[in-house]
Structure 1
């Protein structure tokens, strides 16, 4: 595996005082089609109890994955649903969504999850909103040689296994998988036909660490280095993907997608292609054209 860039998640605050760790790129587009990865991880209720009260979006998709605790989602389209540990949720906001995400009562024991933003191509930014969650559906998974694969979005080929998530229409043909490793376990992955020079491949480490030897060619006498939790590693899509956990094991999100290669103009919850479109989004929201959540 060839490491291209390395991004450290930074502390941030969003919603009603929710503490998060964030990796974001709205300008250089080094993560295209992804825009942002937010991780919420705390056993202290005060870090997340405020949740995310009603707020708008236009021009993006949000993908939420919960490892511990949960959220209740509500939107102006009438969708009301709770997502718990192991669940995923996809919202393609298109021309506009107003939604809220509030922690569930059983999050008293802590909350750990992710919200990932994806850019939408210009041709789709004003289409009607779409919503889907895993609900009663089964997300495919399997374990082999100390490595556990769980497919969250898209279709994946792991060795002889082909696993397809019920959520497979993300912008940029994006795919997301959760891979966990026992101590020192390793795996080699072939991304197959998706492995091209316009393909983004990223590895977000959320638990434990990956060993340096699995990511870069080693020089003689090179000091041993690990990539710990909170790192997003962007790797070359043309190089075979080899991953090895450190001595405490590892948990990571593997993300791939086709670069959209379009201008991004970002302001708060809106991501469009021009400043005029941003101004229109703000006006539409202020004039109530997005609708509102029925409590």
Structure 2
């Protein structure tokens, strides 16, 4: 496995004072087609109970995955779902969505992620779409060598086993998986079809402690994946095809030109995004 670069997630806040770790790539240099990875991991309710009150998006896809705890998603399209441990939720915002994500009252700690995927410029103004896995459990592959892969988005193959997530129409041919490694566990994957492949370590460490929690490994295109952990660990695999297009970013809006960005602001201020009932 050839690692080109290692980026570290940095502590910050978002929403109503929610403490997170973030890797941002709004300059398009390292993460394309991904824009941002946020990790929320805390057993202290003060770190997350403010949640993410209603706010807009345009021009991106948001992908939420929970390992522990729960959120309630609501949006102006009428979707209202409780997303719990092991669930994913995908929102292709297109021309505009207003939504909120608030912690469930019974949540005893939270560990989850929100990942932003950029949309091709020609698709940024199409109607929004929503999908989650609450009624269709995500497929899991266990390889017998202390590794477990959960297919969060897209299709995955481990040796002769194939797992396809019900969320299989993400922008930029994106695919995501969560890998759990027992002490001494190992997972080997052949090179993926996508040009951009990254590994984010969220638990423990990999490669005999060489890479630790909070590290984002950017792999050489065409590299195989060889994940191992001496003492146990967990990691997300993110794959996608770079869009190689300009990025104009302001808060929750990501377009390709400044004119498009300013129009998004005007449309939101004029109430054209709708409201949550």
Q: TM-score range by the shorter chain?
A: over 0.9
Task: Count residues with an aligned counterpart.
Answer: 276
Q: Deviations over 1:84-122 (max 9, x none)?
A: 000000000000000000000121x10110000000000
Offset from partner CA, 1:166-197 (integer Å, 9 cap, x none): 000111010000001011211221135x15xx
Q: TM-score, normalised by structure 2?
A: 0.98
Q: Which residue of 2 aligns with 1:52?
A: 52
**Structure-1 separation of matches of 2:52 and 2:28:** 27
What residue in structure 2 maps to residue 272 of structure 1?
255
- C-alpha displacement at 1:237, in angstroms? 2.5
Deviation, structure 1 residue 143: 1.3
Shift of the alpha carbon at 1:40?
0.3
> Structure 1: any 5+ residue segments left out of the alignment?
213-224
Distance in 2 of aligned mates of 1:240 and 1:131: 32
- CA deviation profile, 1:116-157 (whole Å, cap 9, x unmatched): 000000010000000000011021102121101110000111
Show the counterpart of 1:285: 268
How do 1:118-129 residues align onto structure 2 when only pairs under 5 Å count? Answer: 118-129=117-128
Give yes or no for contact 1:187–1:243 (8 Å, CA) kept in 2.
Answer: yes
Q: What's the counterpart of residue 111 of structure 2?
A: 112
Q: Is the 8 A contact 1:29 1:35 kept in 2?
A: no
The whole-number CA distance in structure 1 between the counterparts of 2:138 and 2:216 is: 24
1:240 counterpart = 2:224 = yes
Q: Hey, what's the Cα distance between the residues in 1 that align with 2:188 and 2:66? A: 26
| Deviations 1:19-40 (CA, angstroms, capped at 9, x unpaired) | 0000011014311111100000
- The alignment status of 1:130 with 2:114, answered yes or no, reads no
2:197–2:218 CA contact under 8 A, matched in 1: yes
Q: Which has the larger radius of gyration?
A: 1
